[in-house]
Amino acid sequence: MRRKLIAGNWKMNKDIFEAGTLIEELKTRLKDFRNEVDIVICPPFTSLVVAKSLIKGSPIKLGAQNVSPQDDGAFTGEVSVKMVKAIGCEYVILGHSERRQFFKETDELINAKLKKVLAAGLTPIVCIGETLEEREHGITDKVITTQVKGVLHELVSSEVEKLVIAYEPVWAIGTGKNATPEQANEVHRLIRKLVGQIYSWNIAEKLIIQYGGSMNAQNAGSLLSQSDIDGGLIGGASLKADAFVTIIQAGAEASK
Ligand code: PEP
């Protein structure tokens, strides 16, 4: 049985003071949490240090939203894997569609970052997903296949078994328009099949594949109870303690 992973992508929201308030609210609401799912928050870089100290003793783990593919040096404005690891991050989101769209990240670049994150012993949450235009043209499977092969290029089995994939249809991110549970599950099954073909069925069966795209307190239960949806990567709803904890509870319920 795959353990569900509920991760909050805070994007460019919450300064250190606001982050502190949200984490305290989460901790209060998670007092009776029985450890049924893994919980991660991914605040902006500037809030990671304060977040790390505040989550101590709670079930919440820490992730970064991005890293540089470089180790160190003259790369103004960039942050390395070593730096986020030193803070205590255990996860790193890579290849989010906003990074692909606004910062022109390619599968090749995401693959380079992925290798660095794995080499540092952190868990990458690698995002893939089709645009609305691609879905309407009936090429979702082709796009997903290209992205899976591109981001996993040259990775060996022992690396692939350590990563998480987030299927995030671009048309569902921040739009309030989620994929139906069946639509999402179909793509999750395709991703698992591809990983099974490239690596092995044993690895594919263990792979955590999250869904992301307007997951909220209302739709989380039906999405998370699908056979191949192993968690959620949540944007907007992770900024509100009540909504995020309701999603965590839906994950716990679906894990029974
Ligand atoms: C995301 O940012 O990964 C995301 C899924 O956002 P939202 O939940 O707001 O659609």
DSSP letters for 39-84: EEEE--GGGHHHHHHHHTTSSEEEEES---SSSSSS-TT---HHHH
Which residues partner with 7 through β-bridges?
A: 40, 233
CB 35 within 8 A of CB 238: no
Q: What is the pLDDT of residue 195?
A: 98
Cβ pair 167, 187 in contact under 8 A = yes
Nearest in space to 3 (alpha carbons), one of 210, 243, 211: 210
**Each residue of 166-187: pLDDT tens digit?**
999 999 999 998 899 999 999 9
Residue 132 has pLDDT above 90, yes or no: yes
Out of 173, 246, 247, give the residue to mutate to test ligand 1, the one with the largest number of ligand atoms within 8 Å of its CB. Answer: 173
Closest CA to 95 of 84, 85, 110, 82: 110
Interval 186-205: pLDDT, tens: 999 999 999 999 999 999 99
Strand (E) or helix (H) holding 92:
strand 91-94
Q: Are 94 and 127 in contact (CB under 8 A)?
A: yes
Strand-pair category, 38-42 with 5-9: parallel
| pLDDT of 1 strictly over 90 | no
From 5, 10, 11, mutation site for ligand 1 pocket: most ligand atoms within 8 A of C-beta: 11
CA of 173 from ligand 1 middle (Å) equals 5
